[in-house]
Amino acid sequence: MIQNLTDLSRKLIKGTLKSADLVQETLARIADPAGQGCVVFLRTYAEAAMAQADWIDAARAKGIALPPFAGVPLAIKDLFDVKGEVTTAGSRVLDEQAAAEADAVIVQRLRAAGFVIVGKNNMTEFAYSGLGINAHFGTPRNPHDKTAHRIPGGSSSGAAVAVAEGMVPAAIGTDTGGSCRIPAAFCGVVGFKPTSTRVPKDGTVPLSKSLDCIGPFANSVSDCAVLDSILSGGTGEDVDSFPEGGLRLAVLDGYVTEHLDEAVGSAYQKMLTRLSNRGVRLMPLTIAELAELPKINSKGGLVGAEAYSWHKSYLETRSEFYDPWVRERFSAGRSQSADDYIRTVEARARIRALVARKTEAFDALILPTVQIVAPTMESLADPAKSAATNLLCLRNTAVGNFLDLPAISIPCHEEGGLPVGAMLMGRTGGDRHLLSIARGLEGTIRGR
């Protein structure tokens, strides 16, 4: 069931919908034995959520002023602290950690806006993969193929599936190399990655402090804009639609299109034709320097070094609790030298400045979110194939993190086909402007 945050809020305020009914329906969908809520969610807060919903309904009946989204259910990734419980990050490694003493800042902001947090979503262990596979708690099935177990994308796998299957109207994830946008593309929803410093990360288990971002999954750009406002300290404002006519989009090619599979290529080209027919000015742009990224990151890059620094003590004392594949990837970070790390930082600064110059004449950039459709779990049984596919999943989205550009994935596939995402990227710090452009283009990108 597709639900819009603003519509739900309006119905709750008018009294045509009760929060208790809405939250109860949400929890019922999650608990449905015919569904996969037990894999999509690592824990639910049924009792607390219903108590909050009942209180909200009673307060409304008394005319007490409430926050704008009071009573709307929401889910969060298992990376965010909730006071009084252990944040496990989709792993067994942190089981013996002390409980969080306070909610993460973003959890505080969501609660202050009135959202009812119904549970924590499954994810790739410690957010370290774009596939969405979790060896400890199971891997959610991509909801768009009922015959084969296709991956949901990662690392925010459960958040994307929860929204795609209508369990919740929206969810909050993180994005270090594509973790909000890859699963959004694979599952057919909208996923937004902000500029890295836009949303505070206090109370969030880190992967890479240089690259980590916190962003929403929803059914529309409008809902992502509302949540971006709240997460960044606002009150839930939407954005106006930027007019399509005369909009200048740089259509990136080369590095970001050289491995396109047939389904993605076809859907993407049809989407570009729709944009052109609506008066959008599309100009091809090759940024040759992007091809340097695999070499720059060949020793693990910023993620490898920063993740190893955080995990070093756990790798020494609780190594056996990691998924072996995840443990191996974290352990590889120890081979980086200070010189390697500094060279990566310098290369990043150089390429960011170059890209800023090359793209200053454009309103936004557009490219496929992922160059392939979601593969099956069976096709990833071979470790080498799994590793190669992971890199391919991250290939385009990681560009946005490396350059620290806000980016959003919007579905562009034809109805009945496996989901394909088109990604818009803006300028560093220009998050609201990008969301305005995305809102203006959303209907055309989707083919509506």
List the strands of the sheet with 281-285, edge to edge: 41-44, 116-121, 73-77, 170-175, 213-218, 190-193, 407-411, 421-425, 364-368, 248-252, 281-285
Q: Which tens digits make up the pLDDT trace of 356-371?
A: 999 999 999 999 999 9
Model confidence at 239: pLDDT above 60: yes
Model confidence at 1: pLDDT above 90: no
CA-angle at 307, arms to 408 and 389, nearest 5°? 55
CATH topology agreement for domains 5-231 and 248-446: yes
Token pair for 421: 């995402």
How does 184-199 read in b/e, with b if 16+ C-beta sit within 10 Å?
Answer: bbbbbbbbbbbbbebb
Model confidence at 304: pLDDT above 70: yes
Token pair for 430: 């220009």
Say which CATH topology domain 248-446 has. Amidase signature (AS) enzymes (3.90.1300)
pLDDT for res 3: 78
Model confidence at 2: pLDDT above 70: no
Integer Cα distance of 229 and 236 in angstroms: 5
Model confidence at 39: pLDDT above 80: yes
The domain segmentation of the chain, as residue ranges, is: 5-231, 248-446
Mean local confidence (pLDDT), 158-169? 98
Q: Would you tell me which CATH number, out of the four given (3.40.50.720, 3.40.630.30, 3.90.1300.10, 3.40.50.300), belongs to the domain 5-231?
A: 3.90.1300.10
Contact by Cβ (8 Å): 155, 393: no
Q: Which residues are catalytic?
A: 77, 155, 179
Percent of the chain beyond pLDDT 70?
100
pTM higher than 0.75, yes or no?
Answer: yes
Q: Nearest CA to 419 among 225, 184, 234?
A: 184
Token pair for 390: 């992971």
